[in-house]
Amino acid sequence: MAAPARRVAKVVPGKTAFFLCDIQERFRLVIHAYPSVIQTAEKMLKAAKLLDVPVIATEQNPKSLGATVPLPLLDLPSHLRPDWVPLAKTKFSMVVPKIEKQLEEWGTKSVVLFGIESHVCVLQTTLDLLERGIDVHVLADGVSSCNQDEVGIALKRMRDAGALVTTSESILFQLIDDAAHPAFRSLAGLVKEAKDDTKSALEHLIAGKGF
């Protein structure tokens, strides 16, 4: 009897959401390679608009930690972001009732996750999503922590739990799947525009580790 085919976790166009986790002002001076995290987030938001991918964004205790850094969140059309984005929270995980309800409405099957901190909010969000049967793709060039050495350990913990550790450029090309996709030229232009920032993010956040 043939063995059953192993399920492969993939991003599902039309069933994928981007999760932007707590990229806030007060962290500017303490997060390792924070400019690279911000640049990756900016690229992903621009791509979300091009590829029609909905976005969830949160802020951890913004009264203490400040608002989200300037990012093109409000440039997204209304159908790609709930009117409450970014959502203030105190729970470390992004998986709170309002967000769970939104994911159900969208029929979300997979989430692409980026933000901070890798070993706290990003990790706990990943575990909660996996527990609910949602595939999680964590961007190694889009997450960080105050202490650099926390990042690799957190990514390994997430991968061991079943998350996929990948990069922003890889995930964007997975979402279009084919060079015949109508957004291919626009996406290729965005990738070219972000080339230097992407290289810098890979150097500062991954530094050859490959996780």
8-state DSSP, 198: H
Options 89, 128, 135, 141, the catalytic residue? 89
Residue spans per domain, the chain: 16-206
Under the phi-then-psi rule, with left for phi > 0, alpha for psi from -120 to 50, and beta for the rest, what region is 93? beta
- Based on the residue annotation, tell me whether 22 is a catalytic residue of this protein: yes
| Residue 121 annotated as catalytic | yes
What is the pLDDT, as a whole number, of residue 211?
62
Active-site residue, selected from the candidate residues 21, 22, 43, 46: 22
Given 121, 128, 135, 141, which residue is catalytic? 121
- CATH number corresponding to 16-206: 3.40.50.850
Q: pLDDT by residue (tens digit) across 113-140?
A: 999 999 999 999 999 999 999 999 999 9
List alpha helices for 162-205, DSSP H: 168-176, 184-193, 195-201
Q: Looking at residue 64, what is its pLDDT?
A: 93
pTM, to two decimals: 0.95
Q: Give the pLDDT of residue 5.
A: 63
